[in-house]
Structure 1
């Protein structure tokens, strides 16, 4: 959701911005630490967390969902003097209709909140399609044409390439990549920080902060409060003091090997499914739901056999694997998983496949 330190506004503006960044007072040079929230967190999360600089709150998804806790989360953050942002979760429908739904929901937050598009694989059939870049372009262009603000774009680090060059020329990016899934507090130099000259980076979903008992997404914004306000206002002349994104941290091969997040026992239970859901960016409940009872998944223990409507996690997996998307963990999906994991392809989810999956998930990948 950021690129370089700011929206690009022509050579002269860039030169002025660089000069300002060099002469700014030291206290204006500090990056900002913040959280992003949705209905998964409590309505008062932005009231209770004690130490943060900004909160980016999920406002809408698709063309029919609005976070019922968004107003409370935004209001509390603003009342405490924190910077605020609002994001739309892409559902892969008509991008202009989704943009209009988001804009309508902004209401009085327009001009006050930094705007963001959350473009990831969960519940978004366009993510793995060839039209992903066109969808992003249509959405951000519509938002800008109505509000005068270019949204920043959140997506997994592996998907940054999906953003067209002309979009990156206007929109900051907000990549997400986690070195480990271990609990952590604020980090001033997160793993891969500055890799893309990003505006902001999400570096964990396992943040632990005083005042909140659950885990939080933690982010660093590579700019000061003036830069944040300029993103929120948009329009000509909205420049702010920015700081260069830090140099990328050491490659993974040079870092300490992270401790395993889950037990590698060849049994896909709640622990493994929860980690799988985190890696795929889908809601985390530790259960693969909506399945049929079958005998070719002997190593799957966290499964429910409800209305056979399929699983959000499995739909995200199927999109990534390029197989039929129905949310059902059947033989063809398992075979595609086995090819990806480099194990025997037999369509049976047994201990060997489960162990290979756990090894990948412990590395934060699938």
Structure 2
């Protein structure tokens, strides 16, 4: 990341020292341990999780969604003296409109929180298109034009090549790659750490920390608190003071024994739908309602076919993926779900798709 500022005596040397420090090999840097959270978690998650240094909170998605728990989650972290950040989940709609929605959703947290773009495949209409790089460029340029801050770019490791070189020149990156899906606490040297000279890295979605009963995304920031603040403010920043990296914490004993909520039997029945509804924050009745009778949902066992008005749960899923919100579990929606959970996108809710949905729901998220 680059900081631009008015000329000032002695400032150039300070900026060069800071930028060089932030782009140094991670093994030579101090590090901060952190989590990233969203509205599917409680508004007190950042109050109860113990032993973390920063929290990055989802603020917005597409052009339509703002996290109603953002202020509470950020405030909890801030009151505890933690560093904070906010991220926007890209839907692949008009990049300028999404950027404006992101900036608007941040409100008074501008200048206090690190800004980030979450660019991944789930529900993102341009992720696999040739225009992905142009979309990213338009978004970050717009955010910078309005706020003076270059956002950090979160992206799956396999997608780092989508980021254009001119964007990389300005924006730090936050790649994600998991060595395993086993539960873990903090890692001081995660798998592939530093592979892209990144500012941050997410290394698991199966984090287990004291103070929280579910699983968490765990991240490492290759710098200290002063460096974090420089990213958050944009502008000139000040020289980072490297401090010893925090000692990895031990997962809470009780959390290690968490058992899956669902049997992964490949049947989307009452219990699975209840868990899906809880995770998506919709009313919990264990039923996908208002559907048509069709052949391509053979593993859906708890469904009503009255009225054909659709399901609130399905609308929430469609909203997540940027689809038309009919509430009907049609083949387009099933394909989007399949891509998201890593199943064959054939549009049929069969055993493998149902089982992978259950595996995902057993992590406490979707």
Fold conserved between structures, TM > 0.5: yes
Match of 2:61 in 1: 61
Match of 1:295 in 2: 295
| Aligned equivalents of 1:138, 1:314: Cα separation in 2 | 25
Question: Which stretch shows the higher mean deviation, 136-145 or 14-23?
Answer: 14-23
What are the ranges of 5 or more consecutive residues in structure 1 without an aligned counterpart?
1-5, 244-261, 277-281, 320-325, 362-366
Give the SS at the match of 1:178: coil
1:158, distance to aligned residue in structure 2 (A) = 2.2
| Aligned equivalents of 2:300, 2:264: Cα separation in 1 | 14
Match of 2:71 in 1: 71
| Aligned equivalents of 1:203, 1:231: Cα separation in 2 | 21
Match of 1:3 in 2: none
Cα distance 1:348–1:75, how it changes in 2: closer, same or farther (>3 A)? closer
Q: 1:46-98, CA deviations, whole angstroms, 9 ceiling, x for partnerless residues?
A: 11112100011111222332211111111221111111111112222222222
Contact 1:123 1:312 in 2 (8 A): no
1:170, distance to aligned residue in structure 2 (A) = 0.9
Match of 1:328 in 2: 330
Contact 1:32 1:222 in 2 (8 A): yes
Match of 1:84 in 2: 84
1:275-314 equivalent positions in 2, closer than 5 A? 292-299=292-299, 307-308=309-310
Match of 2:103 in 1: 103
Give the SS at the match of 1:56: strand
Match of 2:208 in 1: 208
1:35, distance to aligned residue in structure 2 (A) = 0.8
Match of 1:258 in 2: none
Match of 1:256 in 2: none
1:348, distance to aligned residue in structure 2 (A) = 6.5
Question: Normalising by the residue count of structure 1, what TM-score does the alignment of the two structures yield?
Answer: 0.69
1:221, distance to aligned residue in structure 2 (A) = 0.8
Match of 1:145 in 2: 145
Tell me whether 1:160 sits opposite 2:160 in the alignment: yes
| Aligned equivalents of 2:122, 2:41: Cα separation in 1 | 18
| Aligned equivalents of 1:153, 1:215: Cα separation in 2 | 23
Contact 2:111 2:233 in 1 (8 A): yes
Match of 1:217 in 2: 217
Give the SS at the match of 1:205: strand
Match of 2:32 in 1: 32
Match of 2:17 in 1: 16
| Aligned equivalents of 1:115, 1:207: Cα separation in 2 | 23
Cα distance 1:198–1:283, how it changes in 2: closer, same or farther (>3 A)? farther
